[in-house]
Every structure is written in C-alpha cells, then in structure tokens.
Amino acid sequence: MTRHFSLTRRGFLASVAAGGFALGFRIPAAAQDAATATTELNAWVVIHPDDTVVIRVARIEMGQGTLTGLAQLVAEELDADWEKVTWEYPTPGQNVARDRVWGAFGTYGSQGIRASQQYVREGGAAARAMLLQAAANRWGVDPATLTVSKGVISGPDGQTLRYGELAAEAAQVAVPAEIQLKDPSTWTIAGQPVKRLDTMGKLDGSQIYAIDMKLPGMVSAAIRQAPVMGSTVASFDAEAVMGMPGVQKVLQIDNDAVAVVADTWWRAKTALDALQIEWTESEHANLSMADIHAMLDEGLRSEDAFVGTQAGDVSAAVQNAANVVEAEYYFPWQHHATMEPMNATALVTADRCEVWVATQDAEAELAVASEASGLEIPQCEVYRVHLGGGFGRRASSHEYTRQAVLIAKEMPGTPVKLIWSREEDMIHGTFHPITKARMVGALDDQGNLTGLHMRISGQSILANLMPFMLEEGKDPFTFQGLNPDGEEGQFGYTVPNLLIDHAMRNPPVRPGFWRGVNNNQNAFYLETFMDELAHAAGRDPLEFRRAHMANHPRHLAVLEAAAEGIGWDTPPPDGVFRGLCQHMGYGSYVAAAAEVSVDDRGQLTIHRIVAATDPGNVVNPQQIEAQIEGSFAMGLSAALHGEITVEGGRIQQENYDTYPVITMWEMPAVESLIRPSGGFWGGVGEPTIFVAAPAVLNAVFAATGKRIRQLPLDSNSLRS
C-alpha cells in the first residue's frame, strides 16, 4: 500500500528525518517520451530503442559503489545486457510528485543497498515479466515458453526480439500481481565484480561534482560564520569592500554569518578576508578542553545513566571476583575532512527555487530549500550531484544549502554558488561525538569473564540533530554494537552479569553522523578492554574471546577467519606483533587482525591488516574489497591522527596542516576476506571501519607492553 501525506514543509521534513514513509511496492503507469522514443516500464527501468537500459537510482553515489550495486540488482532481475546499462538520478521533487515511489533517497548508515534491495529488485523483475508478456502477445504463445538472456527474448520456434523493440508494447502490459525474485545463487550480474558505471567519468574528467557546477550568469559567494560558538554578528562595513574587483553584494545571513557575492569565488573570498567583522561576546568564549574533560569525567562517576543492556548483577559479580580489571578510555571529536568542502548552488525566482548540491539526503535538502525560499515543496527542486566525500557530514546538517538559497533569494533570477573555504569547513563541521568510557571487568579463578560494566559518558547525536527520536531521553544510537539483539549491532559475547549504560553529557560543540558513528568508540572501548581482560587472565586474546562467543557463531566465524588469515597460530616475523578484534554493526559481522612493529624511537609501522566481513549477501565483491580498504584508510587515519579540540570556544584545527590525514607510507596492505553466510542483508560502507583502531592498538600492546586508552595515537608515546 502506498501512503499519501499532506504536503507541508514541516511534515515532509519530519517524515524524512524519521526514516521516511513505509513503502509498499507500487509501479506507476508506464510512460513514453515521444521526443526521444524512450519508454519507461516503471519507475526504475527506462528502455531506449537501441536497447540501452536506463536504471534510475534513488540513493546517492559518493564513491561507495551504491549506484552500481543497485543497478546490478535491477539489471539482474531484468536479465539486461550489462554492457548496455546506464543510469540516472530521479529528483526528490519527482519522488514527491509520484507518491515517493522510489522510497527514501537518504544514503547513510550503510542502507543504500540493504534498505532498498527488495523493491528495486521487484522493479527489475516486474519489467522483465512485462517484456516477456509483450513478446508472448506478439507471437501468440505462452510467456512460460520464452527465455531471455542479455536483453534478448527467444521464442519456442527460434524467433527473437530485443528489449528495445518491445519496450513500447511492454509499457502497455498490466503490472504482474505476483513478482518472483531470483535466488541469489543463480545471479549472473549481481554477485559479480562487474565494472562500475561511474568509473569512466572519473577517468576522463567528465564527472561533475557539486563544486564544479557552472550555470549561465552564475555568481559565487564566500561566507564567514561566527568563529566562536554562540557568537553573532555585531557589525561590519560592507562599503569598505564593495569597490573591490568583481564584488556585487555583501549581506548578513541569519544572525551569525556574513557573505560576499562576486563574479568569481576567489574574488568573493578575497573581499571577505578584507572585511572587518565584529562579533558579539559568547557565553562559550571561555570554553576549553579542560571543561570538556571535567564534564565527561563527572559522567563516568554519575549515579544516573541511561541503561542500554543489562543482565544479572554486575555489582555482585565484581564483589565476588577473583580478579577485577578497570580501565578508562577517551575518544575525541573527529572531523569528516571530506576532499570537497561544503557547497551548494541555488537559483531563486518569485515562484521557483532550484538547488544543485552534493548531499546524502536530497529529500531533506528539498525541505530546507522550501523553508529558506518561502516557497512550497512543489515549487522547489533539488538536483543531486556526485559527492566529493560524504561520510555522514552531508547527512548531518544542510546549513550550506540554506545559506545558498537565502543568498540567491537576494539576487532573484541569478544562480549563486556558495562554497565554504577549507577553514570554514573545518571550524563549522559536525564532528564525531566525544566520549569517554569506564570499563570494569570481573574474572573468576579460571580466568572467565563473569561480569562487565561499561559506562559511556559523552555526547548524543540524536539529542542534537533529531531529539524526537530519543526514547524517554535515551539515545539508542549510543549503544550501537552493544545491544542484546538486532541487526544494528549485537554484543558479541556472553557475559552472565552485564551492564552497559550511558551518562549523556552534551558540550556545545555540534556532533554529527561520522562513518561508523558510535560503533567506532564502542568497538575501541570493548575490544581493547577484552584484550586487557585476556592479559589479566593469562590467556591468549583469541582463545579468551572464543571462550565467550559460543552463542555468537557469526561473530566468531569472522574473528576466526581474520585470525587464520593473519596466521595467528604461527610465529610472526621477528620484531612483528599481532592484535585482533571483532564487532557487529549495520547488519554485518566484521573482524580484523593486524601486524605491527615499533622501533626504538617509538615509530609505529603497520605492516598488514586482514579483515573479514559477513554481510549476508554480496552484490559486488570488488566494491566490497574497495570499501574495506577505504574503511581502513579512514579508520586508521582517525586512530593515528584525528582530533578536534576547542579553546576559547573556537575549534583549533582549521586545515590539513593541523588536522592531518593518513599518508601513503603509513597505510598498510589490506587483505579482504568476504564470508557471506546468506539469508540477510548487511551493510558494507561503514562496518569495517569499527575494527581498524582496536586491531592495531592491541598489536601495539603486544609490541610495547603499553596500553593506548586515548586517541589519537599521536598523543601517546610509544618510545621504549
């Protein structure tokens, strides 16, 4: 059943933020474009007379391969010729006009494929059935007697018809009431490492990113937002820069930003740099990291906390333990550091608002454009452009789009491209949340874990971005990877007495979704502490984990695969040491094992990572390998170097010189072990990032005897 809804900005934005509407499979009436003679069989499949198959993809491509993966699933059910498959993005305005037939446009949380695979496959299967019926009608035969391969239908007498010849007739065939999907074991396009649909555009330079947008008559804008949290614009002298080359307008945006519009972005930025802006004093002007640490430390010892998982009596287990192990950990704010800074292009007239933007949630952008322009949603449209990096930043907030629309509103009929400078992008990010953890483990006289208390103290992303999703004040996202059940992250050990809770402490620095989200710190806390417990028990880290994983076979399977891949039961090379870990999140089971060495100067070398993942089903193994490698690049970069700090109410890191990313020489070889067990759909883009830090840090302990309990690694000395 398709749900209908009142088309208001507020209602639309709320529904999108909450995850969108329930989508029943419904294919709207097919259509034919008379100008080009292309035929739409349904919302996902358009066929040209030359047999080109255009697959419409609702989710966004940002390097993770979702575009190709979804196209593979449609093409598989369609029995298309992959060499003749191409793609296009529908717009959120079209989606609204067609009762959201494409479902959610949001691309985050590793949902791109797993949350839409069912209905996109049904779209391909329905189109195939309609084409077969059209051929059967033309030949006067039973469609059951027909076969199809690579877009060519064969009849019982050897006759053939191409999809391009039949599309117009197929569009008039009734949509089948029942749709049978293929068993993944029979796939020939899906499940294969086929070439990506977006590679050529990247190789020949034709691929356009949002920052590349050019429109006739376009002008550019640069913006400066209050550098100290909570400050507002007190005054500025626009006339002082109006005479500079190319400058067209200087204006205040809301109460905390000033923008300059010029014929080029560099001229706009040059004038903005020359503009003297006075800011009001902020209540956060004295905020420092000392204040933040004091807040988090208080949370570690607070009597009050939201309970995530609880079993047995942890206090009694600790009191009766033969050995009690305690440790405290720290995970800092981290920046997304996308290659492409935030930007958007807007064109506003009296009755129309159009936006071109790189976004992970085009429907949210549509609502933002409507609100900022003052126009209703049917009067607005958002055109999606490939992302030069997302990682959650382009899903967490959309203020750059709002700003672009507000500026364009002041210049009716003129396209305005707003680009944040790298410094603006760094200072005004939405950061990976800051947290600390206090871990208390109880061991019996046999070295078994009988009790575990994990107290997390720190920020809630939902409290900042989506407070309506809190559950009686609790943020369920905080407990990712620590839940007793559920595909979003199961705790992978059996501990008879267990308490995992969260003391919510929200300093005024904005948190946001960051690739892997709360799984990152939770895996760091839990898996490094499991190594500490194993060491305290005098047991091998793999054997210790295995002893507590009998009820978690999928967790154990990927852990053992990683251990076998690294050669855990064989001696490593001289001077090389190993560490391992496992975790589960976004529907997938992941594990990693690392080999490292540390020289006398404390210089760390990460030689090799072996990563294992079980995502249930595999759509494109090559893309999974690429995602695993990319996850480790980002995860290790964050673990080694990533830290955002605040002093005087201002973010201290403004560019890559003060927020470094991993270099080529630091990056280890990554070996991917894909172990799909079938029967479920897990994510790929985010899960393996969880295990990057703990695998390496456990190996560092093996090499040095030093426990790293705070990130980034740069803040610790490994010198002997």
pLDDT by residue (tens digit) across 188-229?
A: 999 999 999 998 988 999 999 999 999 999 999 999 999 999
Please tell me the predicted confidence (pLDDT) of residue 36. Answer: 47
Task: Count Cα atoms within 13 angstroms, Cβ side, for 213.
Answer: 28
Confidence at 122, pLDDT banded by 50, 70, 90: very high
What is the pLDDT averaged over residues 503-517?
Answer: 97
Q: What is the dihedral angle through the alpha carbons of 465, 468, 469, 473, rounded to the nearest 10 degrees?
A: 100
Domain residue spans of the chain: 9-204, 210-281+342-419, 289-334+431-715
Q: Per CATH, is 9-204 categorized as 3.90.650.10? A: no
Q: Please tell me what DSSP assigns to residue 642.
A: -
- Three-state helix/strand/coil letters over 526-544: HHHHHHHHHHHHCCCHHHH
pLDDT per residue as tens digits for the range 128-164: 999 999 999 999 999 999 999 999 999 999 999 999 9
Q: Per CATH, is 210-281+342-419 categorized as 3.40.228.10? A: no
Burial (CB count <10 Å: 0-12, 13-18, 19+), residue 312: middle
Please tell me the predicted confidence (pLDDT) of residue 11. Answer: 52
Q: Cα-flanking dihedrals φ and ψ of residue 123, to 5°?
A: -60, -45
Pairing of strands 416-419, 219-225: parallel
Closest CA to 280 of 236, 230, 234, 224: 234
Bridge partners, 563 (sequence order): none
Q: Please say whether the dihedral angle defined by the alpha carbons of residues 531, 536, 541 and 546, taken in this order, is positive or negative.
A: negative
What is the pLDDT averaged over residues 420-443?
Answer: 98
* Amino acid symbol at 248: Q
Please report, rounded to a whole number, the percentage of residues in the chain having pLDDT higher than 70.
95
Q: What is the dihedral angle through the alpha carbons of 578, 579, 584, 588, rounded to the nearest 10 degrees?
A: -10
Please tell me the predicted confidence (pLDDT) of residue 405. Answer: 98
pLDDT per residue as tens digits for the range 5-30: 334 555 554 455 444 333 333 444 44
pLDDT per residue as tens digits for the range 250-304: 999 999 999 999 999 999 999 999 999 999 999 999 999 999 999 999 999 999 9
Q: Check whether 32 has a pLDDT greater than 60.
A: no
pLDDT per residue as tens digits for the range 45-65: 999 999 999 999 999 999 899
pLDDT per residue as tens digits for the range 77-120: 999 999 999 999 999 999 999 999 999 899 999 999 999 999 99
What is the pLDDT averaged over residues 654-676?
Answer: 97
Domains 9-204 and 210-281+342-419 agree in fold: yes
Calculate the CA 131 to chain-centre distance. 36
pLDDT per residue as tens digits for the range 367-407: 999 999 999 999 999 999 999 999 999 998 999 999 999 99
Confidence at 489, pLDDT banded by 50, 70, 90: confident
Please tell me the predicted confidence (pLDDT) of residue 9. Answer: 52
What is the pLDDT averaged over residues 491-498?
Answer: 98
| Topology given in CATH for the domain delimited by 289-334+431-715 | Aldehyde Oxidoreductase; domain 4 (3.30.365)
Please, what's the b/e burial string for 45-66 (b: 16 or more CB within 10 A of its CB; e: otherwise)? Answer: bbbbeebbbbbbbbbbbbbbbb
